[in-house]
Chains A and B, each alone.
Chain A
Amino acid sequence: QAGLTQPPSVSKGLRQTATLTCTGNRYNVGNQGATWLQQRQGHPPKLLSYRNNNRPSGMSERFSASRSGDTTSLTITGIQPEDEADYYCSAWDTSLSAWVFGGGTKLTVL
C-alpha cells in the first residue's frame, strides 16, 4: 500500500517555529484529512491533531495543523527541548480501504 510523503528530518533551534509537511492524494489526505502523531523515543505514538486541525483536549496550542489540497502541515511554534521526537501523519485511504502512514519526520532541537 502506498504511503504518505514526509521529509525524513528537520532541525530547529529553541523557540523557533517548525512546519512539517505530509503529502498524499485525493483519496486520503485530500479526502478525509489527516491525523498527526508525535512519538518520543521509547514511547507509543501520541495524538496531536485529527481531521486536520482538531486538537485533543489538553494538547498545547503550540501545535496546529492545516490542509491545502493533498498536503497537510503541522506547525510547531516556540519549539522546546521536549518537542524533539518523530512526527507521523496518517490518513484513511478510501481507494485502498486502508490506513496509510508517512515515513515520519525526525525533529531535532538544536
Chain B
Amino acid sequence: EVQLVESGGGLVQAGGSLRLSCEASGFILSDSWMSWVRQFPGKGLEWVATIAEDEVKKFYVDSVKGRFTISRDVATNSLYLQMNSLRADDTAVYYCAKDTMDVWGQGTTVTVSS
C-alpha cells in the first residue's frame, strides 16, 4: 500500500525553526515528484514546495522562498521540509503529497507563536 506519514510539527516561537519529515512506503520516493502543501486554520489548501525526480529542480511559493528548503533522502525514503525564520502566518497543517497530488499524508500541525 502506498502511504505517506508526516512528522515533526509542533509549537515554535516566531523566528524559530522546524524540520518536517514525510516517510514514504509502498513506492520509491525518489522516482516521484513530491510536494508539501499547507492548510491554514479553517482555510483552503496552499502549495508550499515541490522537488522533482532529478532532485535538482526545486520550486517554492513566493512567501517561503529563502526560508524553507525541500529535500529528500534515498536511504530513508523520506521527504523533508526545513523551515527557518518561522512566522505566525506559517501556522498551518502541513501535508506531503506525491506526484499529481494522488497520495497524501495525514498532515502535521505547525503552530508559530508570536
Which A positions have Cβ atoms within 8 angstroms of B? 1, 35, 37, 39, 44-47, 50-51, 56, 86, 88, 90, 92, 97-104
> Which A residues are in CB contact (< 8 Å) with B105?
44
Q: Mark B29-67, 1 if CB is under 8 A from A, else 0.
A: 000000101000000111100100000000101100000
Cα–Cα distance between A37 and B103 once the two chains are bound (Å): 10
Known: A98-B59, A98-B61, A99-B35. A104 touches B44 (CB 8 A): yes
Residues of chain B at the chain A interface (Cβ within 8 Å): 35, 37, 44-47, 50, 59, 61-62, 95, 97, 100-107
A47: chain B residues within 8 A (beta carbon): 101-104
Complex contacts, B44 vs chain A, CB 8 Å? 86, 88, 101-104
Mostly, the A contact residues are strand
Number of A-B residue pairs having CB atoms within 8 Å of each other in the complex: 56
Pick from A51, A92, A99: contact of B37, CB under 8 Å: A99
Which of A45, A88, A100 has the most B CB atoms < 10 Å from its CB? Answer: A45
What residues on A are CB-neighbors of B103 within 8 Å?
47
Residue of B nearest to A33 (CB): B100
- Closest CB-CB distance, B94 to chain A, in whole Å? 11
Q: A1-B61, A44-B95, A45-B95 are in contact. Are A99 and B102 (CB under 8 A)?
A: no
Query: Complex Cα distance A73/B37, Å?
Result: 22
A44 and B104 contacting across the interface, CB-CB below 8 Å? yes
Known contacts A44-B104, A47-B104, A100-B47; 19 additional CB pairs below 8 A are A1-B47, A1-B62, A35-B100, A35-B102, A44-B107, A45-B97, A45-B101, A45-B104, A47-B101, A47-B102, A56-B102, A88-B44, A90-B101, A92-B100, A98-B50, A99-B35, A99-B37, A103-B44, A104-B45
